[in-house]
Amino acid sequence: MISDHLRNITIHLSTHRWADLGLGVLGKPQGPIDIAVMVAQAVLLALVLDYVHMLWLRYKMPPGPFPLPILGNTLLLPENKPWIYFEELSKRYNTPVITFWIGRNPTVWINDAWAASEILDKRAGIYSSRPRMVVFAELGNGQDGMLNMYTTTATQRERWRAHRKLMHHGVGVQSVRRYRSFQNDESRIVAADLLASPGEYVRHFERYATSVVSIIGFGRRVERWDDPIITEVIANMHLAADLNVPGKSFPMLMETFPWLARFPTSIAPWKRGLGRKRGFNFFYALADEAAQKPGHDGSFVKHLFAERAKYGLRDEEVSSLTGNLFGAGSDTSSSTLITFILACCAFPETLAPAWEELDRVVGQDRSPDFADEPNMPYVRAFVKEVFRWRSVAIIGGQPHAPTQDDYYNGWLIPKGTWTQGNVWAIHHHEREFPDPDRFNPQRFLADHEDGRPFPGERGYMTFGWGRRVCSGQALAEQGTWITIARILWGFKIAKKTRPDGSVVEVDINNYTNGLNMRPQPFECSITPRTPRTAATIEQEGRQARDDLEQYRGETKYRMSTFYSRNDRAMDKYGDDAKEE
């Protein structure tokens, strides 16, 4: 057995006589050459023992490709969309859970809904922590915020619970019901914007999603699609999303060679600028600015500042919590709505049942409201299929890490192991979702023949698992439903037809490569269903703007200039970027 071979190698190395290594009598070095030989042999011994340890872990852990010394399986990583590769490995080894080595560190990928439920949901108390993340955490957002925080000690767990409690006050299941009024109004404005300029649908969705979280966070809406809060913050979210996808090029190669992260950023081009720490963060400046303004006492940042002394919140924590709010509701929600448009173009046969249900329940003289949801099972299924078909958080968000050694099906998952749910593989498993690339809302209707058992009542795992489930899940589900229902009610969505009559095809697999994926730009046709729906959209849009007037406002801060070394006029928050 492999364990016997490894034991023999270890015994042989540990009992080797120094004299046999050419170090002279009693192991004393005889000169510079002997010292160099001794150092080289010590390094070699350390490498061999380390590799023996890797192979011993591989023997006990879930199956996967054979790792090389030091490099592990890093060279096997594809350039794009590694979640598809991990799905293929799961099929190759005929196991729901695989081990893949990033350098010397094993990572566990869960490619099955039932295994994910068993490990990450039912054992949530064990898998509530995070692993070491060199790029995204240590060099990026830090490991002290709620998103990346360790929970291996009682002190860490207590701190994380405090952050979670504060976040639940902002976007928890009970809290988001308070936001239905302005979320509904913002959705009406999206419909009016699509009527006026349908070709700018991406920008309209980004404005809508960012405005909703800005009202919740700061008591201030975002009126224009070109507001820097949208363009700069979402661009920053996209960059951050790219920093947590396993890769074999820099900066992600630092996960394989973490010692490279120790070099100063100024002399380490492979760090791509990561590792710079600022005295004040952009999101703290936004929060402090909003907290000083009168009115909107129910905003999230005013709650944070009111509770600051109670929880002993540092500036960095206020910044982190505020930034998490944007991360939980802006980029992800807009990307989901873009996927919705793509699905309508690629699978037009799914629209007629939605129109029939909407006309029967709602009519054409008003658009849908939250009260209509219980009476529209097909539209509910349509939204669920959007979440399932091309999930935004394609690998389930940040990785989990067990706080103790754990076993699944007899396989070891060591303490601290990077443990990731592969949402792509889970949502494209033929067992639960036959013909998985087909967009088919019928699969979420109870009486449909394709219905299969699935752990959890929602039928999808888009928002993660256990205690680390996405904080903004309730907000995203609520907002996505009302916006999709309203757009389905008001518009015909189809592939674009060129002047010569030819059709512009869409590619359902042409997505970005980040942690939060979205479709690459594509052309489409968005036109009002009838003159009556168009008139209703215009009237409701005007009324919504009047209703939202109370949230008018603008920030003086811009992310593009906030961290500029040359901008000295940005009052106390324009501090120079300093390296840690």
Q: Vertex 231, ends 226 and 234: CA angle to 5°?
A: 145
Can you list the alpha helix ranges (DSSP code H) found in 406-530? 423-427, 473-490
Kind of pairing, strands 411-413 and 406-408? antiparallel
Helix axes 154-171, 315-329, angle to 10 degrees: 50
Q: Does the N-terminal peptide bond of residue 251 adopt cis geometry, omega within 30 degrees of 0?
A: yes
Q: What gap in Å lies between CA 99 and CA 242, rounded to an integer?
A: 22
Q: Vertex 534, ends 530 and 537: CA angle to 5°?
A: 140
Longest dimension (CA), the chain: 99
Name the nearest CA neighbour of 457 among 468, 470, 446.
Answer: 446
C-beta of residue 476 within 8 angstroms of C-beta of residue 205: no
Name the nearest CA neighbour of 496 among 194, 193, 198.
Answer: 198
Only one residue has tokens 């240590």, namely: 138
Sheet of 418-421, strands arranged across: 97-102, 105-110, 418-421
Beta bridge partners of 100: 107
C-beta of residue 505 within 8 angstroms of C-beta of residue 495: yes
Q: What gap in Å lies between CA 396 and CA 119, rounded to an integer?
A: 14
Say if residue 344 carries a ligand binding annotation. no
**One-letter amino acid identity for 93?**
Y
Beta strands in 439-511, from DSSP E residues, in sequence order = 491-494
Q: Vertex 165, ends 205 and 109: CA angle to 5°?
A: 65
C-beta of residue 331 within 8 angstroms of C-beta of residue 241: yes
Beta bridge partners of 493: 526
3-state secondary structure of 422: coil
Per-residue tokens: 252: 């992600």
CA terminus-to-terminus distance, the chain:
49
C-beta of residue 451 within 8 angstroms of C-beta of residue 445: yes
3-state secondary structure of 464: coil
Q: What gap in Å lies between CA 59 and CA 79, rounded to an integer?
A: 28
Residues in the annotated binding site for heme: 470
Residues in the annotated binding site: 470
